Amino acid sequence: RKEVEQDPGPFNVPEGATVAFNCTYSNSASQSFFWYRQDCRKEPKLLMSVYSSGNEDGRFTAQLNRASQYISLLIRDSKLSDSATYLCVVNKMDSNYQLIWGAGTKLIIKP
Amino acid sequence: GAVVSQHPSWVICKSGTSVKIECRSLDFQATTMFWYRQFPKQSLMLMATSNEGSKATYEQGVEKDKFLINHASLTLSTLTVTSAHPEDSSFYICSAKSLASGRGFTGELFFGEGSRLTVL
């Protein structure tokens, strides 16, 4: 089983719609969780951290379910510019700086 | 925000040659830099962690004699792919953690733009 698993997609979504992705992780002792965004052939960029109580940043909402070991990302009122691959990232329990990356979920927003 | 510059952005080389990739932190000191490799449609795979002034720590399965890492200063780390072969063709990305971040890790690693290596 992969340490961090994501549905690769692609998710084809009309502009303005709401879309959600899930990500599951295998290590119950993981402490930190993040969503990164990666555009085609570009480096990843931090989208948002995921806090235990859930957190929101504009149109983006992240939630953590420790019992089921999954993280979710919800995008409301999707824009064409949201098209990208979204990477779920979890820290290794033996290091605060080393991260385990999911393979990403590809999102395509259509006009 | 912090900037990490990676060079070259793409390189094509013949099988058997060595390729050096540089990663520079432009406006901050990076005590720790990470080197990743990403194959198409796959996740980022950590290759090694490099700490300034000490030997790099390689992940399991990564050949340290093939992927030479040098982190001689707080602003520069280099990855040299020695005797490259077609199977080494990949997207190599470096990232850095700022010295100024203190103890807490926010999750924000600053990434270079990546180097796409094609070995013929």
Nearest beta carbon to residue B43 from set A43, A91, A104: A104
A55 in reach of chain B (CB within 8 A): no
CA separation, residue A57 to residues A48, A61, A111, B1, B10 (Å): 8, 6, 23, 18, 34
Residue A16 backbone phi and psi in degrees, to 5: 95, -15
Closest residue on chain B to A34 (Cα): B107
How are beta strands B115-119 and B10-13 bridged, if at all? parallel
A4 in reach of chain B (CB within 8 A): yes
Residue A4 vs residue B1, higher pLDDT = A4
Across residues A8-13, what is the average pLDDT? 94
- pLDDT band of residue A71 (cuts 50, 70, 90) is very high
Residue B65: the pLDDT is: 94
Burial of residue A93 (number of CB atoms within 10 Å: 0-12, 13-18, 19+): middle
- Say if residue A43's pLDDT is above 50: yes
- Say if residue A1's pLDDT is above 90: no
Residue A70: the pLDDT is: 94
Residue B100: the pLDDT is: 54
Residue B44: the pLDDT is: 87
CA separation, residue B20 to residues A12, A50, B4, B70, B84 (Å): 39, 36, 17, 10, 11
Nearest beta carbon to residue A46 from set B93, B108, B116: B108
Residue B99 backbone phi and psi in degrees, to 5: -60, -30
Per-residue pLDDT of chain B (120 residues; tens, 9 = 90+): 568 899 999 999 999 999 999 999 888 888 889 999 999 878 889 999 988 888 899 999 999 999 999 988 889 999 999 999 999 999 999 998 765 554 445 556 788 989 999 999
Across residues A73-101, what is the average pLDDT? 86
- Say if residue A65's pLDDT is above 70: yes
Tokens at B2, concatenated:
């912090």
B13 in reach of chain A (CB within 8 A): no
Residue B104: the pLDDT is: 46
pLDDT digits (tens, 9 = 90+) for A33-42: 999 999 988 8
Contact A24, A5 (CB under 8 A): yes
SS3 B24: strand
Residue B103: the pLDDT is: 44
- Say if residue A93's pLDDT is above 70: no
Nearest beta carbon to residue A43 from set B97, B106, B112: B112
Shortest Cα–Cα distance, A105 to chain B (Å): 10
B2 in reach of chain A (CB within 8 A): no
- Distance, in Å, from the CA atom of B43 to the CA atom of A106, rounded to the nearest integer, reads 12
- Distance, in Å, from the CA atom of B111 to the CA atom of B96, rounded to the nearest integer, reads 7
CA separation, residue A39 to residues A43, B38, B110 (Å): 7, 13, 15
Residue B102 vs residue A73, higher pLDDT = A73
B91 in reach of chain A (CB within 8 A): yes
Nearest beta carbon to residue B43 from set A34, A96, A103: A103
- Distance, in Å, from the CA atom of B96 to the CA atom of B106, rounded to the nearest integer, reads 13
